[in-house]
Amino acid sequence: DVLRAGQLSRDLLESQQRMRLAASAADLSLWEWGIIRDEIWTTEKGRERAGIGASERIDFARYLQSIHPDDREPTQRAVRHALEVSGEFEAEYRVISRDGATCWVVARGQVERDAHGKPLRLRGVSVDVTERKKAEVELTQQRNEFAHLARVMTLSELSGSLAHELNQPLAIILTNAQAAQRLLAQQPPDLAEVRDILADIVSEDERAGEVIKRLRMLLKPGQTHLQPLNANAIAEDVLRIVRSDFIERGIKVHAKLDESVPPVVGDRVQLQQVLLNLILN
């Protein structure tokens, strides 16, 4: 029995060494959280990423300190969900080392329970995904640049129509201003008529301002911004942009918009671009 126990001990040690070697080769860190004693064990790679010394005791609160402040609450929620509901833990968060360097980590684990279902341990692995995150950011930037270029090219096709859309309210403003001057030159001046003309000028000025505002939104480069949107309002904005182009081409548009359509979550400019491309095609 003693010989057998010795052999099992050697086999276990060799198995642990193989596991650690494989984890190191795959750039993984192994970890285990003893929930009852609130003590975390992790490999050297895990301590190094979290900026924790080799002899320093790690409890859950200490490990949370190494996580980026913006990611602590989501990580805690993922842990609670694993302990109380699913038994499976998965989280993505940033870890800050002692020198201030930040790396992205994906952690996955599984809860071990006793005979009564009480959580005893949470075991798992973590992997550094910083390079993947950098690639995702670069890809997003390139996608935004292509989307901006597509919007510029689309609006260049509508340059004549958009110029007319702006010239029309400007011409009305000029005509009304000249009429107001003539009315003010009369003796006595017709102030009531002048007030009506000034109201028309304000209205046309707002109309021109809305055209410029919509163009600036479409031309402005930027990241995707998701928010609840009114689909009907997006459709109406796009129809206003291409209204003069429709007139030039002799196209009549009848819009039937369902007022009961619920809000959609999306990026306003991207949805406008999609609808604009669809209408032009």
Single-letter amino acid, residue 234: I
Name the 3-class secondary structure at 180: helix
**What pLDDT is attached to residue 187?**
83
**What pLDDT is attached to residue 158?**
66
122, two tokens: 């949470």
**What pLDDT is attached to residue 25?**
47
**What pLDDT is attached to residue 225?**
72
pLDDT digits (tens, 9 = 90+) for 196-255: 888 888 887 877 777 777 677 766 666 667 889 999 998 988 887 777 677 677 888 888
Q: Which residues, given as ranges, of the chain have pLDDT below 70?
A: 9, 11-27, 140, 144, 148, 151, 154-155, 157-158, 160-162, 164-165, 214, 218-224, 244, 247
Cβ-Cβ contacts under 8 Å for 218 (sequence gap 6 or more): 151, 155, 241, 269, 272, 273, 276
Task: Output the average pLDDT for the chain.
Answer: 82
* CA–CA gap between residue 122 and residue 126 (Å, rounded): 13
**What pLDDT is attached to residue 69?**
93
The model carries a pTM of 0.51
Q: List 94's β-bridge partners, or say none.
A: 104
